[in-house]
Structure 1
Amino acid sequence: MKKIKYLFLFLAIFATNSIFSQNNNQAKACLDKATSLVANQGGITAHFTLSLPGGAGSTSGTISIKGSKFVATTPQTTIWFNGTTQWTYMKATDEVNVSTPTEAQRLTMNPYALMTMYRQGYSLSMSNKSGAYSIHMKATNPKRNLSEAYITVSKNYQLQNIKMKQGNKWTNISISRIQSKNLPDNIFTFNKKSHPSADVIDLR
């Protein structure tokens, strides 16, 4: 009787692990397809709304993305990132800060940066949510800058929403009006001619 009991217990554990593994693979496949829409094209443009943690307000703007490069514009700020260097123009002070952004900083302004992180250091699960896919990412190392996130992807694998946890605070980014474009690489690098009076401050 004990042998039968342990056999059923083993089969139950095996079945649970099998379901978890299958769900993890489905979530990864979904994010692979969503990421490929950006990686395999000349780029995309989209509208975004960023809701700050703790009800601290929100901001909206446009973003152009090509691979790891992006340029994001809001009424207050424009950010260029060429894959290595970031330039942040602040309209109120007419200044441009030059930096090498951290993972957390890139995530705040480029929601698609999150979609390249899922391949390492995160467990994944997926469920259907109002005609879309909802993928839950959880860091295997709790000390990672981004410890947890929920990504909503449409049935045709377009990014719709990201809710991400950094520290103990949640930030929400909504994405809409996605269009495929053939974007030139030079738009992701700050051009002094566009803001000739700006004070450029190198923080690297």
Structure 2
Amino acid sequence: MKKITLYAFLLLGITTTAFAQKDAEAKAILNQVSAKYKAFNIVKSDFTFVIDNQQDQSTITQQGTIVVQSKTNKYRLSLYSQDPTAKTQVVQEIITDGRTQWTYNKKDKEVQVNKVDKADQNFNPAQIFTMYEKGYKYIYTGSETLKGRVYQVIDLTPEDIDKSYFKIRLMIDKTKKQIYSALIFDKSGNKYNYTINTFTPNVQVPENTFTFDAKAHPGVEVVDLR
């Protein structure tokens, strides 16, 4: 099954000296974001996901919702139909309980099951708030002002060269200390942009939010890749 994932980032020429000069500033900003995020139990965000396909020069825009338990690796990401008459209809979900990851494609009536560590080759959307803590180099590149709001810009580069993406650019709301967007450039050349539209802390959700119930989806083929 061809699944949609959140990737991206354009390689920039940054010298070792620049990393040495900016690294501490980037870490200080990211620590503030992480501390605020971890103060909440469950965070729910509505987002806009844009895929810029360089091969066929097309752009796809999709809306979605992610529910994350901040102190664990549990999350549920839902992508909605692009049809304006059915824009609240879920077409794909990525769910994990911290050990197992389910990728459900409604149209194909298929769910792929992976161990979380096998799925880590791809970008984990739950990592957006804390990803810098392990496996990334980071640099503060300055600030940008959009619609009167100031955003701090930080580039993350994965230390694992086998990742399918090679850089992520975070834009952080300077006042709110929250992630505003993550721009990722895939090694294929495609660009992916994840923009957070809402950030709702401490929402109440049932525990089964973070598991996939095959019995509740009759006719769905389970492809176990563990």
Residue aligning to 1:158? 178
Residue aligning to 1:93? 108
* Distance change in 2, residues 1:78/1:45 (3 Å): same
Matches within 5 A, 1:22-37: 23-37=22-36
Residue aligning to 1:176? 197
Could you list the per-position Cα deviations for residues 3-58 of structure 1 after superposition, in whole angstroms to 9, with x for gaps in the alignment? xxxxxxxxxxxxx96x8545311211222222233333111111112222423523
Q: SS of the residue aligned with 2:177?
A: coil
Could you list the per-position Cα deviations for residues 37-96 of structure 1 after superposition, in whole angstroms to 9, with x for gaps in the alignment? 333311111111222242352321111011321101123112211112111221112222
Query: What is the identity, as a one-letter code, of the residue corresponding to 2:195?
Result: S
How far apart are residue 196 of structure 1 and its match? 3.2
How far apart are residue 190 of structure 1 and its match? 0.8
Structure 1 CA distance for aligned equivalents of residues 220 and 38 of structure 2: 33
Query: What is the identity, as a one-letter code, of the residue corresponding to 2:36?
Result: L
Query: What is the identity, as a one-letter code, of the residue corresponding to 1:117?
Result: M
Percent identity over the alignment? 25
Counterpart among 54, 64, 67 of residue 67 in structure 2: 64
* Distance change in 2, residues 1:62/1:144 (3 Å): closer
How far apart are residue 166 of structure 1 and its match? 2.4
Query: What is the identity, as a one-letter code, of the residue corresponding to 1:70?
Result: Y
Residue aligning to 2:187? 167
CA RMSD of aligned residues (A): 2.5
Q: SS of the residue aligned with 2:36?
A: helix
Q: SS of the residue aligned with 1:105?
A: coil
How far apart are residue 106 of structure 1 and its match? 4.0
* Distance change in 2, residues 1:185/1:123 (3 Å): same
Gaps of 5+ in 1: 1-15
**TM-score, structure 2 normalization:** 0.71
Matches within 5 A, 1:8-19: none
How far apart are residue 116 of structure 1 and its match? 3.2
Could you list the per-position Cα deviations for residues 86-121 of structure 1 after superposition, in whole angstroms to 9, with x for gaps in the alignment? 1122111222221224324243xx1x4144332344
Relative to its length, the structure with more helix (as a share) is: 1
Counterpart among 131, 140, 145 of residue 117 in structure 1: 131
**TM-score, structure 1 normalization:** 0.78
* Distance change in 2, residues 1:166/1:137 (3 Å): same
Gaps of 5+ in 2: 1-15, 81-90
Report runs of 4+ in structure 1 exceeding 6 Å deviation. none
Larger radius of gyration: 1
Is 2:223 aligned against 1:201?
yes
How far apart are residue 186 of structure 1 and its match? 2.6
